[in-house]
């Protein structure tokens, strides 16, 4: 997956610096879970003490604009995850409220809602489902016995 991200950076004429590569490698560990951006910032400062906060946040924002990462705000905190599907960047997620695991949803419900809004032009949407993943649901069932 990192090789796809590097190709996207090159296509957009970004230099592949050791800092960017390190940031990509770290973020690639978060394909199925969001990570707080302050955690990413802390990690990058451990690796590169002279790297500014602005540089880290700017790179994450640029990665988001190129579709390399997905960024959201959760409970007032900015979180980010590595793109889980470079071929289908428009997708939605199921997010486990217990462990934070993210699963990609293949279907987009926009057509259903668009049919209910005749004459309207939907310009953007965001759709997520929340609950317990299969593993957490099984653990919850086991502990309730």
| Numbered residues of the known binding site for Fe cation | 90, 125
Q: 91 and 108 in contact (C-beta within 8 Å)?
A: yes
Task: Tell me the binding residues for Zn(2+).
Answer: 96, 99, 133, 136
User: How far lies 11's CA from each of 5, 22, 120, in Å?
Assistant: 10, 19, 36
Task: Name which of 79, 119, 125 is nearest 105 in CA terms.
Answer: 125
Task: Tell me the binding residues.
Answer: 90, 96, 99, 125, 133, 136
């Amino acid at each position: 997956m990192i090789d796809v991200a590097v190709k996207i950076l090159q296509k957009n004429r970004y230099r592949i610096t050791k800092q960017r590569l390190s940031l990509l490698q770290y973020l690639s560990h978060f394909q199925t879970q969001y990570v707080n951006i302050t955690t990413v910032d802390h990690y990058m400062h451990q690796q590169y003490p002279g790297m500014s906060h602005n540089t880290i946040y700017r790179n994450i924002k640029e990665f988001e604009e190129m579709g390399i990462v997905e960024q959201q705000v959760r409970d007032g905190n900015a979180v980010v995850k590595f793109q889980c599907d470079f071929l289908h960047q428009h997708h939605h997620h199921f997010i486990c409220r217990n462990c934070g695991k993210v699963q990609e949803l293949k279907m987009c419900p926009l057509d259903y809602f668009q049919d209910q809004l005749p004459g309207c032009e939907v310009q953007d949407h965001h759709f997520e489902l929340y609950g317990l993943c299969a593993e957490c649901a099984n653990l919850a069932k086991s502990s309730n016995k």
